[in-house]
Structure 1
Amino acid sequence: MKSLDTPYDTLRLTEPAPGVVVVTLDRPDRLNAMTTTMFDELEAMATALDDEDDCRVVVLTGAGRAFCAGYDLDEAEELPTLGPLGMLDRQERAARALLAVRSMRVPVVAAVNGAAAGGGLSLALAADIRLASTAARFNAAFVRIGLSAGDLGASWLLTRLIGPAATSEICFTGRLVEAEEALSLGLVNSVSEPDALLDDTLALAASIVANSPGGVQLSKRALQANLETASYAAALELENRGQALLTRGEDMSEALAAFKEKRRPIFTGR
């Protein structure tokens, strides 16, 4: 993939298996804290990988002992000095980055290897699936620094993921949620030992890559769009269009032929 050759200051991209791109937040000395550069690079990365037909799954993780500690406090010191429009611009740059990650056409899996706090929690929530290590901990700490938990999509995504009551308690107190509690709440899909987290995530990614590219991508589109659809009838309409479109491609015919011939299908996405 051409996108893997793009140099980044805050990200590191690798392809450990065909179709699987691991995007590592690469500021371990700062617990992978977010900066304006990281926001710009996350948006650029998401846009570039979206143009790669060979990219089938994106894995997000952090270098070192943290996933992402949120906004870098060194940069945060200047926020009170920004005017209203300057602060809005800064906030919108960050929001565009997370929207770009969430809107990628392929599944995004977060391998949460350590602390995911503030904006780091929001980034994990922007993924379609979250796997955690036993060292992971989650924290919507905004109220502890005089800010709102309505930040970078956290209030919308977390409420839909674990419900309004649990979200309210976590956001109003700013307390830590350890990995096992995150699993019980449905915040993460599974918990692994730290040394096994990436292998477990790559195994999940491989099981996704084994399926029809178009089927996976339109499944993601339907799941995300129908979170915001106001009615059952509207959801059915969107699903109908997706299924009709997919039957025009080659993968469904290939799957049926493979079933009859008792072999594994070879999907092309065409």
Structure 2
Amino acid sequence: MSDVTGPYETLVVDAADTGVVTLTLNRPDRGNAQTSAMFDELDGFARAVTADPSVRAVLITGAGKAFCVGYDLAGVAELPSMGVVAYLELQERAARALSAIRGIRVPVIAAVNGAAAGGGLALSLASDIRLASPEAKFNAAFVRIGLSAGDLGTSWLLPRLIGTGAAAEITFTGRIVPADEAERLGLVNRVVRKGEVLDAARAMAEQICANSPAGVEVSKRALQSNLEIGSYAAALDLENRGQTLLTRTRDFQEATQAFLEKRPPVFRGE
């Protein structure tokens, strides 16, 4: 897994033998704020993970007290003076990174250990599942610095997760959403006890890894693709193709044989 684990300047990656890869945003002195270098490394990491068949799940968390406070404000002063073409290149670089994270072929679990603001909120939304510590807090802070919540997929993902009314209130006010409210809204799957968010994410990843690798991957593809399909009939067509392909795998044959023999299946990703 040499390509998956780096080396990186802004990330720390731990690849376990179980197939679970833990990605830690590693700028704790800056609240793990995002930079151009971090966006490039996130993009490269996502591509390396997707290309590595041994990876079964990805965990994302932040070093120190924050998950990710968004784009590093140390660079914000330069933005108004940037030309349109230069700024668009920066924006697209960031968008490519988050799109690549969302497009990772295996499940991505965000272990939100602290503040997730702006681009940090967007990164958590790009994950498939979000677990939060009691200290976690979420903030669509864009409007507070004269920008739009139409950034890094936030305006597409947030209303689909919590509904348009709640998304409108949170993005228009720019207020902080504490962990318990985030859980009520469905912004996070659940809040776990203090100090246990990464352990809870690992336990969930292990549950996922116990299942058919191809079944999980095709399930993720169906969930994401059907968010963008405009009809029930089209969704059924996509599901039918995926399910039919999976019946041709050795893992499906193993699962049916294990059921008949009343034993746990041994999945090999084949």
Q: Which TM-score band (shorter chain)?
A: over 0.9
Report what 1:38 is aligned to: 38
Correspondence 1:114 to 2:84 = no
Report what 2:169 is aligned to: 169
Correspondence 1:128 to 2:132 = no
Report what 1:140 is aligned to: 140
Correspondence 1:6 to 2:6 = yes
Instruction: Give the deviation of 1:114 after TM superposition.
Output: 0.1
Tell me the SS of whatever aligns to 1:61: strand
Tell me the SS of whatever aligns to 2:196: helix
Letter in 2 for 1:158: L
Instruction: Give the deviation of 1:204 after TM superposition.
Output: 0.2
| CA distance in structure 1 between the aligned counterparts of 2:193 and 2:40, rounded to whole angstroms | 32
Tell me the SS of whatever aligns to 1:66: coil
In structure 2, relative to structure 1, the CA distance for the partners of 1:23 and 1:203 (3 Å cut) is: same
Letter in 2 for 1:70: G
Instruction: Give the deviation of 1:264 after TM superposition.
Output: 1.0
Report what 2:213 is aligned to: 213
Correspondence 1:47 to 2:33 = no
Report what 2:81 is aligned to: 81
Tell me the SS of whatever aligns to 1:109: strand
Which deviates more from structure 2 when the two are superposed, residues 2-11 or residues 200-209?
2-11
Instruction: Give the deviation of 1:35 after TM superposition.
Output: 0.2
| CA distance in structure 1 between the aligned counterparts of 2:143 and 2:23, rounded to whole angstroms | 29
Report what 1:194 is aligned to: 194
Report what 1:234 is aligned to: 234
| CA distance in structure 2 between the aligned counterparts of 1:253 and 1:128, rounded to whole angstroms | 28
Report what 1:266 is aligned to: 266
Correspondence 1:105 to 2:128 = no
| CA distance in structure 1 between the aligned counterparts of 2:220 and 2:83, rounded to whole angstroms | 38
Report what 2:160 is aligned to: 160
Q: How many residue pairs were aligned?
A: 270
Aligned structure 1 segments of 4 or more residues deviating by more than 4 angstroms: none
Report what 2:243 is aligned to: 243
Instruction: Give the deviation of 1:259 after TM superposition.
Output: 1.2
Letter in 2 for 1:67: F
| CA distance in structure 2 between the aligned counterparts of 1:5 and 1:97, rounded to whole angstroms | 17
- Is the contact between residue 5 and residue 14 of structure 2 (CA under 8 Å) also seen in structure 1? no
Report what 2:26 is aligned to: 26
| CA distance in structure 2 between the aligned counterparts of 1:38 and 1:185, rounded to whole angstroms | 30
| CA distance in structure 2 between the aligned counterparts of 1:176 and 1:6, rounded to whole angstroms | 34
| CA distance in structure 2 between the aligned counterparts of 1:111 and 1:220, rounded to whole angstroms | 19
Tell me the SS of whatever aligns to 1:38: helix
- Long gaps (5+) in structure 2: none
Letter in 1 for 2:91: Q
Report what 2:56 is aligned to: 56
Report what 2:252 is aligned to: 252
| CA distance in structure 2 between the aligned counterparts of 1:5 and 1:167, rounded to whole angstroms | 35
Instruction: Give the deviation of 1:2 after TM superposition.
Output: 2.5
Instruction: Give the deviation of 1:5 after TM superposition.
Output: 4.1
| CA distance in structure 2 between the aligned counterparts of 1:260 and 1:79, rounded to whole angstroms | 63
Letter in 2 for 1:52: D
| CA distance in structure 2 between the aligned counterparts of 1:66 and 1:12, rounded to whole angstroms | 15
Report what 2:69 is aligned to: 69
Instruction: Give the deviation of 1:15 after TM superposition.
Output: 2.4
Letter in 1 for 2:216: V
Letter in 2 for 1:38: M
| CA distance in structure 2 between the aligned counterparts of 1:9 and 1:200, rounded to whole angstroms | 27
Instruction: Give the deviation of 1:17 after TM superposition.
Output: 5.1
